[in-house]
């Protein structure tokens, strides 16, 4: 069977490794052992790294949600842009402009003759 060591550790008979009794874990006396106290900086480092890992994960998920939201908004803006461009192209047709001028009662007439070119001498 197992024998008690001098620091309260129970020893196994097969390979000589120390085994931590459950009683010392439950009553908290394991935290006062020299072995645990020597490893305290490493335990604190591991705790810090775990907190940083969790924080990094939450930050990455937040960025992913923002990216997906921006992508959805971009799709909506693109559809709105296409719709607006289509309406503008339809309104700017010559026949539509002439009809709108006539409907509003403006005294504008459509030019029948092409515009004339003005020639200017280059030495003046």
* Per-residue pLDDT tens digits of the chain, which is 124 residues long: 445 555 555 545 456 667 777 887 788 777 777 777 888 899 999 999 999 999 999 999 999 999 999 999 999 999 999 999 999 999 999 889 989 998 998 888 888 888 888 888 877 5
Sign, CA dihedral 51-53-54-56, equals positive
Global pTM? 0.50
How far is residue 76's CA from residue 66's CA, in Å, rounded to a whole number?
A: 15
Q: Which residues face 3 on adjacent strands?
A: 11
Q: Is beta strand 18-19 parallel, antiparallel or unpaired with respect to 10-11? A: antiparallel
Per-domain residue ranges of the chain: 1-33
Neighbours of 97 (CB within 10 A): 13
Q: What is the DSSP string of 64-116?
A: HHHHHHHHHHHHHHHHHHHHHHHHHHHHTSHHHHHHHHHHHT-------SPPP
């Amino acid at each position: 069977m197992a024998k008690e060591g001098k620091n309260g550790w129970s020893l196994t008979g097969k390979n000589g490794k120390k085994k931590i009794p459950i009683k010392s874990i439950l009553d908290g006396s394991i935290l006062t052992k020299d072995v645990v106290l020597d490893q305290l900086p490493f335990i604190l480092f591991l705790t810090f790294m775990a907190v940083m890992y969790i924080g990094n994960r939450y930050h990455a998920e937040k960025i992913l949600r923002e990216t997906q939201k921006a992508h959805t908004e971009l799709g909506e803006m693109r559809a709105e842009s296409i719709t607006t461009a289509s309406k503008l192209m339809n309104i700017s047709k010559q026949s539509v402009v002439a009809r709108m001028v006539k409907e509003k009662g403006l005294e504008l007439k459509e030019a029948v003759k092409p515009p004339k070119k003005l020639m200017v001498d280059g030495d003046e």
